[in-house]
DNA sequence: GATGAATGAGCGTTCATTCAT
DNA sequence: TATGAATGAACGCTCATTCAT
């Protein structure tokens, strides 16, 4: 089982600035990043719906108008964060595909997903100053949502390709996804966050569930 | 297995107006209902968070102030809808509890939940004019949310009481809930809506999944 | 010095219903009175500006629309209360006029004014239930304002007629009025309310002040 | 007797903008001033209670939201105006305190108060377009109210410190205040406004009145 | 005449967005 | 580009007033 480590969104985007750049480019990248960081926080604390552009920009210290030099709306930042998450996660997931063994694929996908969530959650919580009053936290970041969508797509594909058991593939996907989502959420609420045992549980549940299905088991 | 039929919220409340009443009372009931209907639609289309009181009242054709003759806030309408759903669903669910057999309980709970969803969905969709452009739909009504919460509580209890298999009960509940929710959603998207086969699937998945769990199977 | 006693507005208007009346007339009078009473309370508690028609009608237990069968607006109730006060006070004041002696006139006018205020204040406070939380009180009723206007007019006349000292009569009136108003207000704030000593003070202040004026003293 | 001249609030604040500034700062100052001016007018015409934020902003021609870039509420504008008045008046008043001679103190305080009122009134009236229909005017600006409060406090102190005659000090203060307020108001209604003779009158009235009091005269 | 729900103007306030600087 | 004040639509809500019952 491959151990993966994820880099927080902040570092990731900064790393992208790999070419020597003038000061102007520098601050452009910094501002863009500052907005993304602030948005991540605000989304996590207030929820995506309740968050306003003002909330985001206020936290950056930038001027209101500056926001619109980078994004056209709150939804666009949301999409950017989602993309960021998806982009970071996609290669891991892709490497798991076409490995043939459905059971192994599921396990690794779930593990990767849970670890991503845990990492995201940690790096996000860690960035908050200690002494401060902790604001109300909602906790699901756009990245998590995006990665969830990726995993879902992967499982959908795997099942549809017949590498998983043949039954009602749509419902099968739905069941896997449901388990992953709900167990993953509970996992994040526990201290310490234990991705391994959560993954064990979810994988058992999924594989056993699928195996018992009437039309079942034709897996690779 | 008892076959249950649910009445839509609209009809339900209308039925209550069984006594001959003055015109004033009539319009009051109608307005109250119009607000609830409008709210259900708006919540379904925009989501509860994004919906505004003015969205709701606009759709009724009533004056802005009229809303406040009936409800004090958006949340109060939401609660009213939820209550309506929960109240209709609660007796069914209660009759399933303490039946001893965990497998049977799960099956009947899932069936009841799916049938409620289907019914709710139908009555809600039916009320929408045909020719109109279908606005973007989120689709989950407060009633569904409320009933979902009921089912979740029931499963939580059943598992916690040890009538289900003993393992990590929290994760077990989460898995059941996840399956019910996701499969239920897919079910609603199909035509015709077939609650029986969706329930069959979900129940199989849940029971098989739980049975295979390491600490497993002590259920009644 | 004549001792005068004032009847509260409530009793006064009730007394007016001296003729045998049908039930309809009865309730009409009662409603009108209920509105006036409620208005007096509300004006006293919230202030005339802040008070709303709804505040008044709510306290009567009558329906909203009923208000408009009696008065067209808050201002009209205000005027009615003022009239009531003025009407009750006018005869007392008139009996003091044309008595010739300016000093005596001033004394009796001030005494009458202060006693009216005290009485009004008492009967208003007395009607409030004991056990209840005392709402914030502003304390100046329309009646007091109206009576103040009466006193002002009387003094204006007396001074203009030359029965008082000849100087700048407008300023003289202003000074008297200012003393009466401010000392009267302080009087109401003390417990027990002592109209006699307040009146003594105000009268001394007024008469001595006027006597010392340059063009002074030609009084009757 | 020192002759003092007050600058109107408008000029005063404008004078403060003594440094050359960018256009932005300029319009900011202008807008802030426009709001204050509009507020003064509206308060004067409708009374502070009845005035609304929208009344104020409407008169400026600015957008509704702009108000909140400068003040958080009507009360804050009111406070700003009051502060302005008090700040301008305070030094004059302070220079009069502790001068020992009660008579002189009263005279100068009254003179200063009347001159402030006259000046305020003039600058306020002057800013009104000629041809327009004069709206109903209540006429007391927050500045006047604030300055009145200052004078009242000063007299209260002086009397309480025993520098004035010893009698019922609360009533004494009330009487002085009443005279100052009422005579001052009449003064403003005359053309031309003659502060000197009004002050002469008020001071005579106050001092003579106090001197005649029973417990009287122990003043410095 | 009494009722009380409906009305809709208007209020205080927030917010996304623009645009002169 | 960055700035941040101006904008005005929209929100939640209250209120005086009307009018069918």
Tens digits of residue pLDDT in C11-68? 444 444 344 445 556 688 899 999 999 999 999 889 999 999 999 999 999 999 999 9
On whether any CB of chain D is under 8 Å from the CB of C194, the answer is no
Alpha-carbon distance values, C148 to B194, C79, D145, D172 (Å): 82, 14, 21, 20
Q: Are D182 and C174 in contact (CB under 8 A)?
A: yes
pLDDT for C43: 92
pLDDT for D166: 60
Compute the C-alpha angle C18/C24/C27, nearest 5°.
Answer: 70
Q: Are D96 and D112 in contact (CB under 8 A)?
A: yes
CA atoms within 13 A on the CB side of D93: 24
SS3 call for A171: helix
- Residue for token digits 């006293």? C44
Q: Which two tokens stand for residue B92?
A: 């069914």
Q: What secondary structure letter does DSSP report for D136?
A: P
Shortest-distance nucleotide from C68 CA to C1': F17
Give the span between the Cα atoms of B200 and B186, in whole angstroms: 14
Identify whether A100 is preceded by a cis peptide bond (ω within 30 of 0): no
Q: Which two tokens stand for residue C63?
A: 């329906």
**Average predicted confidence (pLDDT) for chain D:** 82
Tens digits of residue pLDDT in B46-74? 999 999 999 999 999 999 999 999 999 99
Residue D85: which of D53, D119, D136, D51 has the closest Cα? Answer: D119
pLDDT for A16: 41
D146 or C77, greater pLDDT: C77
On whether any CB of chain C is under 8 Å from the CB of D191, the answer is no
What are the φ and ψ backbone dihedral angles of C74, each rounded to 5 degrees?
-60, -40
pLDDT for C149: 84
Contacts of C197 in chain D (CB under 8 A): 168
On whether any CB of chain D is under 8 Å from the CB of C191, the answer is no
Q: What secondary structure letter does DSSP report for D66?
A: G
Q: What percent of chain B has pLDDT over 70?
A: 76
Residue C8: which of C41, C52, C31 has the closest Cα? Answer: C41
> Which phi-psi region, left, alpha or beta, contains residue B213 (left: φ > 0; alpha: ψ -120 to 50)?
beta
- Contacts of D28 by beta carbon, 8 Å cutoff, 6+ apart: none
Tens digits of residue pLDDT in B84-141? 988 888 888 777 766 667 888 889 889 999 998 998 888 777 676 665 556 667 767 8
Tens digits of residue pLDDT in C126-146? 666 666 666 677 767 888 888
Please report which confidence band the pLDDT of residue B150 belongs to, taking 50, 70 and 90 as the band edges: confident
C26 touches strand E (CB under 7 A): no
Give the span between the Cα atoms of D171 and C202, in whole angstroms: 8
The distance of B198 to chain A (nearest Cα, Å) reads 8
pLDDT for D220: 37
Please report which confidence band the pLDDT of residue D17 belongs to, taking 50, 70 and 90 as the band edges: very low
Q: How many residues does chain C have?
A: 220
The predicted model gives D9-15 an average pLDDT of 46
Tens digits of residue pLDDT in C69-100? 999 999 999 999 999 888 888 888 878 766 66
- Ranges under pLDDT 70 in chain A: 1-26, 97-100, 126, 128-135, 139, 162-167, 215-220
pLDDT for A20: 45
D6 touches strand E (CB under 7 A): no
pLDDT for A57: 96
Residue D156: is its pLDDT beyond 90?
A: no
B75 or C155, greater pLDDT: B75
Q: What is the pTM of this model?
A: 0.86
pLDDT for C52: 96
Q: Tell me which chain B residue has its CA closest to the CA of residue A198.
A: B171
Helices and strands in chain C: count of H runs, count of E runs: 9, 0
**Average predicted confidence (pLDDT) for chain B:** 82
Lowest mean per-residue pLDDT among A159-163, B187-191, D61-65, D117-121: A159-163
Residue D118: is its pLDDT beyond 70?
A: yes
Please report which confidence band the pLDDT of residue D5 belongs to, taking 50, 70 and 90 as the band edges: low
- Residue for token digits 């069984």? B18
Q: Which two tokens stand for residue D187?
A: 């003064």
The distance of A184 to chain B (nearest Cα, Å) reads 9
Please report which confidence band the pLDDT of residue C158 belongs to, taking 50, 70 and 90 as the band edges: confident
Rg (CA), chain B: 19
For helices C169-189 and D195-211, give the axis angle rounded to 10 degrees: 50
């Amino acid at each position: 089982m491959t151990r993966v480590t994820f880099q927080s969104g902040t570092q990731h985007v900064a790393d992208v600035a790999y070419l020597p750049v003038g000061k102007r480019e520098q601050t452009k990248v910094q501002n863009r990043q500052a907005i993304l960081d602030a948005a991540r926080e605000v989304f996590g604390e207030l929820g995506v719906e309740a968050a306003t552009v003002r909330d985001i920009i206020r936290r950056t210290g930038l001027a209101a108008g500056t926001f619109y030099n980078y994004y056209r709306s709150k939804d666009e930042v949301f999409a950017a964060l989602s993309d960021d998450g998806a982009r970071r996660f996609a290669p891991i997931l892709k490497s798991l595909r076409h490995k043939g063994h459905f059971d192994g694929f599921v396990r690794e996908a779930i593990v990767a997903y849970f670890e991503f969530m845990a990492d995201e959650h940690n790096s996000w919580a860690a960035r908050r100053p200690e002494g401060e009053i902790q604001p109300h936290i909602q906790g699901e970041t756009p990245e998590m949502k995006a990665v969830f969508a990726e995993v879902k797509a992967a499982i959908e594909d795997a099942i549809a390709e017949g590498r998983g058991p043949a039954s009602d593939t749509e419902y099968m996907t739905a069941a896997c996804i449901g388990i992953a989502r709900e167990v993953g959420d509970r996992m994040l609420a526990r201290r310490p966050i234990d991705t391994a045992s959560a993954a064990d549980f979810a994988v058992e549940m999924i594989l056993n569930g699928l195996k018992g299905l009437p039309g079942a088991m034709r897996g690779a």
